[in-house]
Structure 1
Amino acid sequence: MKAFITSLPGCELDQVNSEILFHLHRLYVDDGVEMAYVDTDPQQTHEMTVVFLHGNPTSSYLWRNIIPHVQPHARCIAPDLIGMGASSKPPSFDGRFHSHARYLETFLSQINNNRIGGIDLALHDWGSALGLDWARRHEEEIAGLVLMEFMHPWPTWEDFAASRPARELFQLFRTPEGEGRKLLIEENAFIESVLPGGVIRPLTEAEMHHYRAPFLQPKHREPLYRFPNELPIAGQPEDVDAAVAAYHEWLLNSELRNLFFWASPGALIRQEDAAFYETKLQRCRSVFVGEGSHYLQEDHPDLIGREIGSWLTSNVAIST
């Protein structure tokens, strides 16, 4: 299955080995603020819709090799969060979780057009936090959840990261000023180090070029700094921790169907976490993808895509 590409400024189409091009659409989510998104079926000819939500420091491009597997079964929508990908980068945007949530609320309300039970959410990283927060408040509009490397509460730093180097790096990222900010804003460390470090295979130069494209200028890297500072670790920040705790409790008690991907050793979802969620998530189909860290979409896209397609069609058969 070949990749699709989206037209980002600074990325030449012939630099990516692809024959499938998905054009970006744009939707106003505030005065002068546009959210860019892939939409494989704007005419809504499919009964099912899957919305793919990315996290830090990625974009809809993360789903490029998964969507072609899902497209025959459902309308596939993959937005770029504000400040990321090809979406607007408002100078006044603070990049906080609740600010992203407000923009996503507007986007999903327009895309879904208030269809009851209308969409499945495929969620990763900060896209999972934003998507699960929205799902908790709009359960009647959700058909099911696809989860991988998703955000959950971390009572302590030891719960967040198994390795001391990882803990120390993210603690450094959370310093108000100084070295952490220098690493993320000036040196672009999340793109240059954290992203490739979260993929088992080497990313190609073309792929790195595409991921770098939205953040070529340091002034556009504020979301890459803000997101690590929003992680709900040891109760901080309080407002994000409260939101994540609320949707986590809801998720464990929800009767929505779930498709849960996990890897070894994993990052946000380690093997002991996977064992917990396999047991505690209701109506859960669990899929072990094999070796993987955080960006499972880069290491196992075909498996993930095929499993989503199979899960969608099996659920349709059951419901009918």
Structure 2
Amino acid sequence: MPEIGVLDSTMYYEDSRGSGLPFVFLHGNPASSHAWRKVLAEMEGRLLAPDLIGMGRSGKPGIPYRFGDHARYLDAWFDALGLDEVVLVGHDWGGALGFDWAARHPERVRGVALMETFVRPMSWDDLGEAPRARAELIRSAKGESLVLDQNFLVETAFTGGVLMSLSEEERQPYLAPYPTRESRRPLLEWARSVPLDGEPADVAERLEGYGKWLAGSVEVPKLLLTFDSSPTLLIGEELAAWCAENIAALEIEHCGPAGHHAQEDRPEAIAAALKAWAVRQGLREMRKG
């Protein structure tokens, strides 16, 4: 699969090299493009899925791995491939990065699909008891040791963050990019970047910026995929209802039982919902020019 130079590093990406509007699948933490493999296998057309900088098989430059760093490298990836008239599909931080890119490049976006991602400012009070305890732990000194020394995030994401735990063999592609303490720093930075009560301020500012775009972009069709039956879900019924009221041109499709890493639990349902939405919204036509 392809790898391309971006800024001072490289980014790996999957590319079906099909025809039509490019659908770009953006992963979250602590995953990679590997998370989309089962969804992509059910779809047709031009499908691309990059590994975010410092993650998966992309390069690992010596940067802080803040939201803005990821955005800069992702910008360079889009530009290097000349991607326009894009349909974005985002999960977790991939959704947030996709919204941020769309808000800054509205003329290049044809549609946005989102699942289990960050759609509005959050507070500590929004978190349930277990999520709050986990967030406090990750932001502590003990959390640093858990993530960097014990690879806690990857080890638990695909056992506790899914309804059907992945076997050790199935987890290996997720574990392989992070063999050392230093290689896991991007994962820790993401885990500590969830904006709660306005902190970290740089991430909260990004979220507020793309929130305005989500609310005002009536010309861009959007699709929210929702799930049920797991305590790890980020978007439940209440937040889905908020999305319906506050995100312009939004359709909501329920895809059944899944954990936060829903691509592992419900890939066929996700792909089917995306394909049906693309047809309804005229997003399957050949690219112009």
Q: Secondary structure at the match of 1:65?
A: helix
Write the letter of the residue equivalent to 1:49: P
CA contact (8 A) 1:50 1:119 kept: yes
CA pair 267-86 structure 1, distance change in 2 beyond 3 A: same
8 Å CA contact 1:69, 1:309 repeated in 2: no
Distance 1:75 1:319 in 2: 11
- Aligned partner of 1:262 in structure 2 is 226
Shift of residue 226, structure 1, vs aligned partner: 0.6
Find the counterpart in structure 2 of residue 211 from structure 1: 174
Q: Which residue of 2 aligns with 1:81?
A: 52
CA distance in 2 between partners of 1:68 and 1:292 (Å): 19
Q: Per-residue deviation at 1:89?
A: 1.2
2:219 is the counterpart of 1:246: no
Among residues 202, 206, 211, which one is paired with 2:165 in the alignment? 202
Which of 168, 184, 187 pairs up with 2:133? 168
Pairing partner for 1:39 from 7, 15, 25: 15
Tell whether 2:104 aligns with 1:137: yes
Q: Classify 1:34/1:318 alpha carbon distance in 2 versus 1 (closer, same or farther; 3 Å).
A: closer
Distance 1:98-1:289 versus aligned 2 partners, 3 A rule: same
Distance 1:70 1:292 in 2: 20
| Residues 16-38 of structure 1: CA deviation (Å, up to 9, x unaligned) | xxxxxxxx21111113x100000
Match of 1:234 among 191, 197, 201: 197
SS of the counterpart of 2:14? strand
Per-residue CA deviation, residues 146-199 of structure 1 (Å, 9 max, x unaligned), is 10011133441121x22x122111112112xx2010010001110112342110
Letter matched to residue 192 of structure 1: E
Give the letter for the 1:28 counterpart: G
Instruction: Return the alpha-carbon distance in structure 1 between the equivalents of residues 166 and 46 of structure 2.
Output: 28
Show the counterpart of 1:29.
6
Structure 1 vs Structure 2 CA RMSD: 1.8
Name the counterpart of 1:13.
Answer: none
Contact 1:188 1:221 in 2 (8 A): yes
Q: Which amino acid aligns with 1:263?
A: F
State the TM-score, normalizing by the size of structure 1: 0.84
Look up the SS of the partner of 2:119 in the other structure: coil
CA contact (8 A) 2:21 2:285 kept: no
Q: Which moved more, 1:213-222 or 1:54-63?
A: 213-222
Deviations 1:253-297 (A, max 9, x none): 211101110112562212200122133333222111122231111
Kindly provide the amino acid, as one letter, of the partner of residue 25 in structure 1: P
Unaligned runs of 5+ residues in structure 1 are 1-23
Q: Does 1:108 align with 2:78?
A: yes
> CA 1:317–1:107 in 2, change beyond 3 Å: closer, same or farther?
closer
CA contact (8 A) 1:52 1:79 kept: yes
Counterpart for residue 151 of structure 1:
118
Distance 1:147 1:155 in 2: 18
Matches of 2:158 and 2:105, distance apart in 1: 31
Question: 2:151 aligns to what?
Answer: 188
Quote the offset at 1:318 in angstroms. 10
Output the CA distance in 2 between the equivalents of 1:131 and 1:77.
13
Partner of 2:26: 53
Q: Percent identity?
A: 34
Amino acid at match of 1:30: L
Structure 1 pair 247/317, CA: closer, same or farther in 2 (3 Å)? Answer: closer
Aligned position for 1:302: 268
CA contact (8 A) 1:97 1:240 kept: yes
